[in-house]
Amino acid sequence: MTSVLSHPSAPRARTATRRRYLMCPPEHFTVSYAINPWMDPSVPVDRDLAMRQWDALRRAYLGLGHSVEVLDPLPDLPDMVFAANGATVVDGTVLGARFRYAERAGEAAAHLAWFRSAGFTRVVEPEFVNEGEGDLLVAGPPEDQIVLAGTGFRTDPRAHVEAASVFGRPVVPLDLVDPRYYHLDTALAVLDETTIAWLPAAFAPASQDVLRDLFPDAITVPAADAAVLGLNAVSDGRHVVLPIQAGDLADAVAEHGFVPVPVDLSELLKGGGGPKCCTLEVRA
């Protein structure tokens, strides 16, 4: 008799680990310029609703047992709510961001200051453009971590080399090809050490091959769910916080043994962001 544990269709049990997140409230959020195809300054934004939705995301993390620290938002930086772009932290080493567009440039210093005042001693100001965890995603087991690194729209490929030397980890360069999926975290979500969800068509063919080799158990997102930024998800290894609009992706992750936690960030989607964009993981 085949044990249920070895049955190919039985989902693997998934294990959550407690995470530390940094978030920045959308107090000054608006869409006053367009630096990605999702942004249309003629569409009004309901900032109060954005605040309530953001706070529901924060409370979802707390409910899952994670910690959330808050970065003070600055006026004139309407995209600062997308905290994931402000830095990348691996093993307590902080690589600051350098933004592609002038509209967001001021966010980088606020992040550096936060990490310094939070007691981080290895804080590196980057030479090349990198948009933090928007394009640099950590995967793999703790002893063997790698950084998946997007390029094509925002992060400079030279920043991949810089990240490899700052973190002392292998960096896997990935070419993004669809402007709607301008950051790696809109085209790929790391669900646990060996599992990603992704949209193959957002990557150049050679990058698709690399990802297929690295992640044979990858979950392919239905195109309609990628188109509501369903892949902009945050996983603790078991719970996957994802946009409520991405119902089929939620079903797919559940079939793989994860627990979907849907949240509605419809107002922030107008800026081209979802749960992951609002969430910087502090890997101390």
List, by residue number, the catalytic residues: 183, 277
Check binding of 97 to ligand ARG (CB under 6 A).
no
Q: What are phi and psi of 71, to 5 degrees?
A: -90, 135
Residue 145 buriedness (CB in 10 A; 0-12 / 13-18 / 19+): middle
- CB-based contacts of 88: which residues, under 8 Å, 6+ apart? 94, 95, 97, 130, 132, 133, 136, 138, 147, 163, 167
CA distance 64 to 73: 25
Binding residue for ligand ARG (CB under 6 A) from 93, 130, 186, 207? Answer: 186
Q: Which stretch binds ligand ARG (CB under 6 A): 88-96, 122-130, 178-186, 194-202?
A: 178-186
Closest-CA residue to 35 (of 100, 98, 97): 100
Q: How far is the CB of 163 from ligand ARG (least distance, A)?
A: 16
Q: Of residues 105-164, which lie at the interface with ligand ARG (CB under 6 A)?
A: 134
Check binding of 185 to ligand ARG (CB under 6 A).
yes
CA distance 181 to 175: 11
Site string for ligand ARG, 30-59 (x = CB under 6 A): -----xx--x--------------------
Q: Of residues 64-93, which lie at the interface with ligand ARG (CB under 6 A)?
A: 79, 82, 84-85
Beta strand 93-96 with 123-124: parallel, antiparallel or unpaired?
parallel
Q: Of residues 196-255, which lie at the interface with ligand ARG (CB under 6 A)?
A: none
Residue whose CB is less far from ligand ARG, 14 or 278? 278
Check binding of 174 to ligand ARG (CB under 6 A).
no
Q: Which stretch binds ligand ARG (CB under 6 A): 46-54, 191-199, 237-245, 266-274?
A: 266-274
Which parts of this chain interact with ligand ARG (CB under 6 A)?
Answer: 35-36, 39, 79, 82, 84-85, 104, 134, 183, 185-186, 271-273, 277
